[in-house]
Chains A and B, each alone.
Chain A
Amino acid sequence: MEVINDLIYNYPYFASIILFSVGCFIILAESNLIKKIIGINIMETSVFLFFIALGNIKGHSPPVISPYLTEEAAAQQLYINPLPSALVLTGIVVSLSITAFALVIVAKIYKYYGTIDSHEIFEIRSRKKW
């Protein structure tokens, strides 16, 4: 019961771990190359969700000092952690570049084989003498 309560209370972590496993499974199990790339994106996005959930605290304000508050009130205000958001921004850039690169490679493979299904590519390779 204790464990279930913890899971429900920390549902973003739970969701991110499930998404991570799903993404990893998609990369390894799907034969369609585009779906594999989608799997990569799911995996990386789940990690971003984890980071955002780390930085967020329920009921606290974003880390921007409001002009309507006095200095004492602003100092007593509780803010969420901004660092994970900055990390996620960097991570999104990396993930995007990997996705773009992988899509270009898949386009080239389609040019060589006329298909993007890895099983069919394997068959073509075994039949043809290159």
Chain B
Amino acid sequence: MMIEFMFYNPPVIVLVILIFALLMPLLGRYLGHLAGYIAALVAGFSFIVSLIFAFMISEGEKVKYVVLDYYSSIGIEVVLDSLTIYMMAVMSGISLAILLYSVPSIKKEVREKAIGWYYTLYLLLLSAMFGIIMTNDLFNLYVFVEVVGISACALVIIKNDRASTEATLKYLLLTAIGSGFLLFGIGLTYAITGHLNLDHVHYSLAIFSYDFPFLMWTIITFYFIGFGIKAALMPFHVWLPDAHSKAPTASSAALSGLVVKAYIIGLIKVYNVLMQAPLFDFAHIKIAILILASIAMIGGSFFAYVQHDLKRRLAYSSVAQIGYIFLGISLGTVSALTASFLHILHHGVVKACLFMTAGSIYYQTEETDVRNLSGLGFKMPITFTAFTIASLSMIGLPLFSGFITKWYLAVGSIEADNYIFVILIVISGLLNALYFFPIVWQGFFDPPAKDAPDSGWKIDKIPLPMLISTVVLAIFSIFIGLFPKYPLAIITDAVNNLDGFLFY
């Protein structure tokens, strides 16, 4: 009954998360760091709700809800379809693991007074990401993008030391440039079409875009630059390594795994409409994205190889993986888009797991340099096994989720008659192996340092919630690798609904 009410009134979920976000400082005051468990319960609730939605929605169905019952060209329209529900499940599911992890880990990184506020910011971020995913209205999209931007910056700076402050300044300035471009693009869209609702924009563009060829070009480019800066595609990735490596561990996992993907979904929503307009190919934006994504795949991996700080290496690895997602989007065949959406899930799970293991290693040994990890597989076997599984998944070995996405991406590039990208994917995977394998090798096969007191098998000395969430994410990566049909069922429907991207 309640689920059905939520199904036909989707903003209720965002509201529930927002209400709990505002309660968090109070709970933090009286419960201390235990408030994190309540935040995790909220994320778990939204996860369960989105799973139930996934069974409720039928193929190709779009549940539309107009806020306050205005007619849709003036009111704010919210849409629930396969893509939306899939992304909601990804966001809330990974958030559940991250929040569980953050309860013990945040005590070391954030001062006592700010713990309640930390969960406020996190739930704000989650609700705003839900908003980006669900909304069908351009200006509403902009507002949610801004909420995500500000709360993500605040999640970095809450560590309150020198490095995180600098990283936040860089992040905020570039985010502001991106917002300016995005808002200008929205303004130009409104100038041409006179609508902000994406469906109406679609109908108007079919009529009016012939009169403004160069303005269409400008709009497409502005959206691309705005979302590109926020989603850290290769030439615009300057802020990402700093912000993602200097943040608290839980924030790093959320920023790398979820926030960037929310922006990518925003880009997909907007381009899905713009690509159906005539004159879209006039801008040659697909070729531009292809080139930039290829540069990101290779360049990000190279940059990751020369980093010696573990979290920075993971952050540059994120840049490479974002290249994969954009590559799938720009190839535009069914398999490539499927690969993109699957990669969003795979990268979210695996990168969150890797950041969490990095945080656990720092928690126990205070070690951040990748060259000093020898013999760690004996000191923290469970954590390091999770790290190994996640690394192998990143490289894309069979049995793990990374293999499935790369397989679909390769099939997609063959469908699009671009065989060179198959070679690129293989090269990028080998580069991934180049910077992940040494860590794994050191941990399990190198002798520990000479001054180490003893070198037997020990059990990890980190709190239980941290252990549970890392292990669950690692197991989930294997689960996707073995049974890809469960996520693929809903992804296939989501891809079939994206009329704008598909050539054939």
Contact = CB atoms under 8 A, between A and B. Distances in A.
Interface of A: 20, 23-24, 27, 33, 36, 40, 43-44, 47, 50-51, 54, 83-84, 87, 90-91, 94, 97-98, 101-102, 105-106, 108-109, 112, 121, 130
24 contacts: A20-B180, A27-B173, A43-B176, A44-B176, A44-B180, A47-B183, A47-B184, A83-B196, A90-B143, A91-B183, A94-B146, A94-B179, A97-B150, A98-B149, A98-B150, A101-B153, A102-B176, A105-B168, A106-B169, A109-B165, A109-B169, A112-B162, A121-B166, A130-B162
A50 B162 CA distance: 38
Nearest to B190: A54
B180 A102 contact: no
A40 B176 contact: yes
Contacts of A108: 157, 165
User: Could you say which interface size class chain B belongs to?
Assistant: 20 to 34
Given A54-B191, A130-B162, A98 B146 contact: yes
Interface in B138-187: 139, 143, 146, 149-150, 153-154, 157, 162-163, 165-166, 168-169, 172-173, 176-177, 179-180, 183-184, 187
Given A27-B176, A98-B172, A102-B169, 20 more contacts: A23-B180, A24-B177, A33-B169, A40-B173, A40-B176, A40-B180, A43-B180, A44-B176, A47-B187, A54-B187, A54-B191, A90-B143, A94-B146, A98-B176, A101-B150, A101-B153, A105-B157, A106-B169, A112-B162, A130-B162
Given A20-B180, A24-B180, A43-B177, A94 B143 contact: yes
A51 B142 CA distance: 14
A29 to B, nearest CB: 12
A105 B165 contact: yes
Nearest to B194: A81
Interface in B333-352: none
B75 to A, nearest CB: 12
3 closest residue pairs by CB, A with B: A43-B180, A40-B176, A94-B146
A87 B142 CA distance: 10
Contact of B165 (A27, A36, A43, A112): A112
B183 A36 contact: no
Nearest to A94: B146
